[in-house]
Amino acid sequence: MPRTIPSAPATRLAAPATLCLAAGIFLASAPARADSLTSAPYGTLPDGRPVAQYTLTNAHGITVKFLSLGGCITEIDTPDRIGRFADIVLGYRNLAGYDSDATYFGAIVGRYANRIAKGSFTLDGNTYHLPVNNGPNSLHGGTIGFNLELWKVTPQAVSNGVAAVLTYTSPDGQDGYPGTLDVTVTYTLEDSNALRIDYEATTDKPTVVNFTNHSYFNLGGNGSGSALGALVQINASSYTPTDATQIPTGEIAPVAGTPMDFRHLTPIDARIRAPFAQLILAHGYDHNWVLNKPRPGALTYAAEAYDPANGRILRVFTTEPGVQLYTANHLDGTITGSADSTYRQGDGFTFETQHFPDSPNHPGFPSTELDPGQTFRSVTIFGFSTDR
């Protein structure tokens, strides 16, 4: 797999000429510095275990900060069209927020990202029961998901940027999931101005896996208010409608003629209040799009966000079959974030690359099963650039 961000595939949907740039861009005004990985104490958990914050810095001064707790990405600093840097993800002000997190800000999510209906699934004739933590369903791994675990972090030498390897072993039966699962997640901040996330996992028993990163983006800057004026494109002709509890019905529905159609750059808020049943059920966008793929597992263009006010562009590439656009529908003003501002509905959005929600209960969906002797592998790339 190439270590630089790929160009958009020939089948990519139309976009304005101003967006037809390389995913990485060198800005002369950006502070030049050598690639580096540094760490600093971030606090102590109630049981006395220390948590560290790591900072990845590439050759152009872009930085990504993350915690050993949950691999939570706490900050991504990128320039706008005139070279002014700003943090473009939401986060908490301190460790206490991440340790009691219900928003999953920036976290590695697992064992199973998104929802599993009624907290149960059957695999090889055995039924497994999971904690129910989202209405009648299990969400993002259950009550003690990967976002609340301490990960071992080690540096990794790469030729095109700076990288850190995060490892965690999930014991057999954690939150009801079978098998001891050894997980490796690698964050690589490339000098092409892209954050590459590689996921790998092995198991000693048949199990199911589905990982994602849950960063909330605001291309106007953390704490700048609503992020929903950003223009978004999703390389998908269909999506998976849900029931009232946001579990997929099993249908693969076309986006054409609905507010789910982001095949061309469209402001997120252009149709978010439309009288469309799926938007009403979810209180906004919180859905899985079925990505257009030439073949399963191909690393392809998935989505894009563009802020015309400052020129920032976020492009997403992934090997995963789906992506969840979530518009922070449940931020209600009770969280004061890392920018010392109150977060409200729509102040960020996610591009959660993933297998489909509730796949273990839908044989027609791409399989999330992992057997002993197999290695799960997945790649997602977030490319940062501007329209300059």
Indicate if 264 belongs to the active site: no
Q: Is the pLDDT of residue 18 over 60?
A: no
Q: Tens of pLDDT along 287-322?
A: 999 999 999 999 999 999 999 999 999 999 999 999
The average pLDDT across 202-220 equals 98
Q: Tens of pLDDT along 19-49?
A: 333 333 333 334 445 689 999 999 999 999 9
Q: Which is the catalytic residue, given 75, 352, 355, 362?
A: 352
Q: Tens of pLDDT along 67-115?
A: 999 999 999 999 999 999 999 999 999 999 999 878 999 999 999 999 9
Indicate if 352 belongs to the active site: yes
Residue 11: predicted pLDDT: 30
**Residue boundaries of the structural domains of the chain:** 17-386
Residue 176: predicted pLDDT: 97
The average pLDDT across 245-273 equals 98
CATH architecture of the domain formed by 17-386: Distorted Sandwich (2.70)
Q: What is the pTM of this model?
A: 0.92
Q: Tens of pLDDT along 171-183?
A: 999 999 999 999 9
Q: Tens of pLDDT along 320-355?
A: 999 999 999 999 999 999 999 999 999 999 999 999
Q: 3-state SS string over the chain?
A: CCCCCCCCCCCCCCCCHHHCCCCCCCCCCCCCCCCEEEEEEEEECCCCCEEEEEEEECCCCCEEEEECECCCEEEEEEECCCCCEEECECCECCHHHHHCCCCCCCCEECCECCEEHHHEEEECCEEEECCCCECCEEECCCCCCHHHCECEEEEECCCCEEEEEEEEEECCCHHHCCCCEEEEEEEEEECCCEEEEEEEEEECCCEECECEECCCECCCCCCCCCCCCCEEEECEEEEECECCCCCECCCCEECCCCCCCCCCCEEHHHCCCCCCHHHHHHCCCEEEEEECCCCCCCCEEEEEEECCCCCEEEEEEECCCEEEEECCCCCEEEEEECCCCEEECCCCEEEEEECCCCHHHCCCCCCCEECCCCCEEEEEEEEEEECC
Residue 22: predicted pLDDT: 34
Higher pLDDT, 178 or 11: 178
Residue 145: predicted pLDDT: 94
Determine what percent of the chain is predicted with pLDDT higher than 70.
91
Average pLDDT over all residues of the chain = 92
Q: Which is the catalytic residue, given 60, 214, 287, 355?
A: 214
